[in-house]
Amino acid sequence: MFEIESAGDLMLGLITGIVFGFLLQKGQVAKYQTILGQLLLKDWTTFKIMITAIVTGSVGVYFLVERGAASLDIWPFQPAAMLIGAMLFGAGLALLGYCPGTGMAGAGEGSRDAMVGVLGMITGAGVLVVAYNILEPLALALGDWGKLTVPVLLASSSWTIIAALGLVVAVMLALLARYEPRHSRAHAGGTSIS
């Protein structure tokens, strides 16, 4: 009934996922306290991980794409979908305190509220599927601008943008190293099941 990919692809996905989950857990971002600490602009761990990953990733991925070893795989720019999606996403994230990937990692770490969150996530994805015919016109209300990238938008080379991004990220990390508020995860206990 459904296509099942080759055993090799399944194995590669599993290995990639295990490393991803391992890194998220070691990065302490599979915890409610860390995510809310970021949203309250106190604990910048999540932000540091993300911008470091973005810059590191972009160098290698653009290198692979230029050599024809991989292809860009991006979502088209759909302004209405982006606006509606970002508002719902932000609201849900603030309430749950785990994002979709770190929620799965939080469930792996054992957090019971993250497990409940994952069930909610599958339900939310189900709403999209079931209500797709109604939601699609809303998502496309401001058009579909195609698979737009920043270099194309600014009529600049990818490497110029990546270099500029690297510079901005370096400055942000230097500022954070100096001005990040003191924080602790000493309260990370909370109520647990016995």
Closer to another protein by CB, 75 or 179: give it: 75
Residue 83, CA distances (Å) to 87, 88, 90, 142 in order: 6, 9, 11, 10
Q: Is 141 in the site for another protein (CB under 8 A)?
A: no
Contact flag: residue 175 with another protein (CB under 8 A): no
CA 6 vs CA 14, 86, 88, 112, 135: distances in Å:
12, 34, 35, 33, 33
Q: For 6, left (φ over 0), alpha (ψ -120 to 50), or beta?
A: beta
* Residue 28, SS3 per DSSP: coil
> Binding to another protein by residue 159, rule CB under 8 A?
no
92 forms part of the interface with another protein (CB under 8 A): yes
Tell me, what DSSP letter sits at residue 105?
Answer: H
Binders in 110-139 for another protein, by CB under 8 A: 110-114, 116-130, 132-133, 135-136, 138-139
Nearest approach, Cβ of residue 22 and another protein (Å): 4
143 binds another protein (CB under 8 A): no
Among residues 146, 194, 169, 190, the alpha carbon closest in space to that of 47 is found at 169
Give the one residue of 66, 142, 167, 190 binding another protein; rule: CB under 8 A. Answer: 190
Query: DSSP secondary-structure letter at 180?
Result: P
**Residue 74 found at the interface with another protein (CB under 8 A):** yes
Sole binder of another protein in the list 26, 155, 178, 179 (CB under 8 A)? 26
Contact status: 142 vs another protein (CB under 8 A): no
The residue from 68, 142, 143, 149 that contacts another protein (CB under 8 A) is 149
